[in-house]
């Protein structure tokens, strides 16, 4: 096993990796941008080194500098987390060339599966169903337009090297293709340094269901069941759960086998995720493989009692999987909610500022993965996720009840969060029945008129009293700056140090 590893990431996922490493007796090295100097993950690590300025292009994406620090600290491995350099084949190669183990897939399988077109070809070759579309990355505008017309609208434009909704656009008619293509290519270029895109038939209102797999360097592959990730907005997942309401043993086995087939064909080793879209008739199509740990991995961990980061370490050290497909026991139901800094009621504008107060009670059956504490600042530099709340219970109804309770007890002052939005989603008939799809939030939920029921007598009295007592006690109170002004007021920042730290 490794003696020491470097974590080339920040925030909650760095925390997640460091905790498992510590439990396994592995020393940890954190790298940080100036913004993260004293963040939770840097304090949990055994060592912490500055990597650069806050923008990720000047810090967490500086591959050479990261390798340099790994070498200087005698780190034997680098865990890339998700995002940043986690799916960059060249980085895996650089690690290898410098005698450092990349705790992830090989650069060959990253490049193969990371290219959507090659992955698709591999799927076709291995009898895994795919969505009709182009099989080559395209850059030429006229050609793309022609193909869109041939397949028929609606079509989906996707960055060849993309992920997480970046560089992705749905085009419903000929008139929109020019501007959609332009933004998709520009996003792709700036995010991945590659502006080639591909285009495919857009499946209306599908579900997004993915399979977690583990593959060792000896050709053993298991799947750890599915994750239902259809609660999305603009291709960003918001709520994930497992098992999926639509899944039965037969479909699970069929999809699981497809997932295993494709990673096996790619000569893949590491934890990984095979994503599918599933149409209304439960017909499934291969989407892509994420060659890294996923944000939503905790729901699989709770349902299988496995530690995926631990498995990644073991696989990277050349160990064989210590269990077979038949050994995996699934228990209960788990749900994850992503708490984000945003104003859900104001077109989901990012909300930035300092968290001046934080109070929560998780209780039995809840897990929280977070890298944020009271006093931390949410900035424009990194993604807006503050926390991942995960509930685990015997059945779906109890898991939902636990989640709702924990969300109601989660208090945060200083930024706006999507907690009320998450709660209202959990209370919809569609979520309760499991009858939702990837377009549900945008096409149905957000289009409904929201009428808030009148408040009953006692609560009215409570709100009124709270408001009056606050007003009369106000002298030292803090003011919330809206996101329009960017950063919180200096006055506010000053008072935090006085009264909260």
Partner 1 sequence: MGKKNYGEFQMKKYLTTINTTNQKVETEMLPGNKALINGKEYDYDVKFMNPNVMVLRVNGGNYFLTCVEDDEEMLEVNIESDVFLVKSKSELDLLVEKLSGSKGDAKIKKEVYSPMPGIIKKLNVQEGQQVSKGEVLFVLEAMKMENEIKAVKDCVIKRSTSSQ
Instruction: Report the interface residues with partner 1, using CB under 8 A.
Output: 164-166, 179, 183, 186-187, 190-191, 234, 347, 349-350, 352, 356-357, 359, 380, 382-384, 407-411, 413, 419-420, 423, 452-455, 457-474, 476-487, 499-500
CB of 346 to partner 1, least distance (A): 9
Question: Which of these is catalytic: 207, 261, 292, 303?
Answer: 292
Q: Quick one: 124 or 455, whose CB is closer to partner 1?
A: 455
Question: If DSSP codes are grouped into helix, strand and coil, which group holds residue 271?
Answer: strand
Q: Tokens for 225, please give them.
A: 């069941």
Q: Quick one: 280 or 411, whose CB is closer to partner 1?
A: 411
Q: Tokens for 366, please give them.
A: 């809840």
Residues 327 and 211: their CA atoms lie apart, in Å, by 17
Peptide bond before residue 323 is cis, with ω within 30 degrees of 0: no
CB of 193 to partner 1, least distance (A): 15
Q: Quick one: 90 or 470, whose CB is closer to partner 1?
A: 470
Q: Quick one: 69 or 356, whose CB is closer to partner 1?
A: 356
Burial letters 117-138, b for 16+ CB under 10 A, else e: bbbbebbeeeebebbebbeebb
Beta carbons of 41 and 11 less than 8 angstroms apart: yes
Question: If DSSP codes are grouped into helix, strand and coil, which group holds residue 276?
Answer: strand
Beta carbons of 300 and 212 less than 8 angstroms apart: yes
Q: Tokens for 301, please give them.
A: 């961990």
CB of 313 to partner 1, least distance (A): 28
Other Cβ atoms less than 10 A from the Cβ of 467: the count is: 10
Tell me the H-state helices in 238-395: 249-265, 297-304, 308-316
Q: Quick one: 329 or 465, whose CB is closer to partner 1?
A: 465
Tell me the H-state helices in 266-386: 297-304, 308-316
Q: Quick one: 146 or 186, whose CB is closer to partner 1?
A: 186
For 137, how many CA atoms within 13 A lie in the half-sphere containing its CB? 17
CB of 329 to partner 1, least distance (A): 34
Q: Write a three-state SS string for 120-145.
A: HHHHHHCCCCECCECCCCECCHHHHH
CB of 349 to partner 1, least distance (A): 4
CB of 226 to partner 1, least distance (A): 26
Residues 268 and 353: their CA atoms lie apart, in Å, by 41
Q: Quick one: 157 or 478, whose CB is closer to partner 1?
A: 478
For 164, how many CA atoms within 13 A lie in the half-sphere containing its CB? 13
501 is catalytic: no
CB of 192 to partner 1, least distance (A): 12
Catalytic residues, by residue number, are: 292
């Amino acid at each position: 096993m490794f003696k020491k590893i470097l974590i080339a990431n920040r925030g909650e996922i760095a925390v997640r990796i460091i905790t498992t490493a510590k439990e396994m007796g592995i020393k940890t090295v954190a790298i940080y941008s100036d913004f993260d100097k004293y963040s939770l993950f840097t304090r949990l690590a055994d060592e912490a080194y500055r990597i650069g300025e806050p923008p990720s292009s000047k810090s967490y994406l500086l591959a050479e500098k990261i390798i340099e620090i790994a070498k200087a600290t005698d780190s034997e491995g680098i865990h890339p987390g998700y995002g940043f350099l986690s799916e960059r084949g060249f980085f895996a190669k650089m690690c290898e060339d410098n005698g450092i183990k990349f705790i992830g897939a090989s650069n060959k399988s990253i490049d193969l599966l990371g290219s959507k077109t090659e992955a698709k070809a591999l799927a076709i070759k291995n009898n895994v169903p795919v969505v009709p579309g182009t099989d080559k990355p395209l850059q030429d505008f006229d050609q793309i337009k022609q193909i869109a017309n041939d397949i028929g609208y609606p079509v989906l434009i996707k960055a060849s090297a993309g992920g997480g909704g970046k560089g992705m656009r749905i085009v419903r008619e000929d008139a929109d293709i020019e501007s959609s293509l332009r933004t998709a290519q520009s996003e792709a270029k700036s995010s991945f340094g590659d502006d080639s895109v591909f285009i495919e038939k857009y499946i209306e209102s599908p579900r997004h269901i993915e399979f977690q797999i583990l593959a060792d360097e000896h050709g053993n592959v298991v799947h750890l069941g599915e994750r239902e990730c259809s609660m999305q907005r603009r291709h960003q997942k918001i709520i994930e759960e497992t098992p999926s309401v639509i899944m039965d043993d037969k479909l699970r086995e069929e999809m699981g086998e497809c997932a295993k087939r494709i990673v096996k064909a790619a000569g893949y080793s590491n934890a990984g995720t095979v994503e599918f879209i599933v149409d209304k008739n439960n017909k499934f199509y291969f989407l892509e493989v994420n060659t890294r740990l996923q944000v939503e991995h905790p729901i699989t961990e709770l349902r299988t009692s496995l530690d995926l980061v631990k498995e990644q370490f073991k696989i990277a050290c050349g160990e064989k999987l210590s269990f077979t497909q038949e050994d995996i026991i699934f228990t209960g139901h788990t749900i994850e909610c992503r708490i984000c800094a945003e104003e859900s009621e104001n077109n989901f504008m990012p909300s930035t500022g300092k968290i001046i107060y934080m109070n929560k009670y998780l209780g039995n059956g809840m897990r929280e993965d977070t890298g944020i504490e009271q006093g931390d600042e949410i900035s424009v530099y990194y993604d807006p996720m503050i926390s991942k709340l995960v509930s685990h219970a015997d059945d779906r109804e109890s898991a939902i009840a636990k989640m709702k309770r924990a969300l109601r007890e989660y208090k945060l002052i200083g930024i706006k969060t999507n907690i009320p939005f998450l709660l209202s989603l959990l209370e919809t008939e569609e979520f309760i029945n499991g009858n939702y799809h990837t377009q549900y939030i945008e096409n149905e939920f957000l289009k409904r008129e929201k009428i808030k029921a009148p408040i009953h007598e006692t609560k009215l009295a409570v709100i009124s009293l709270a408001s009056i007592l606050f007003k009369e006690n106000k002298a030292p109170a803090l003011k919330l700056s809206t996101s329009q002004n960017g950063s919180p007021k200096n006055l506010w920042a000053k008072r935090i140090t006085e009264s909260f730290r």
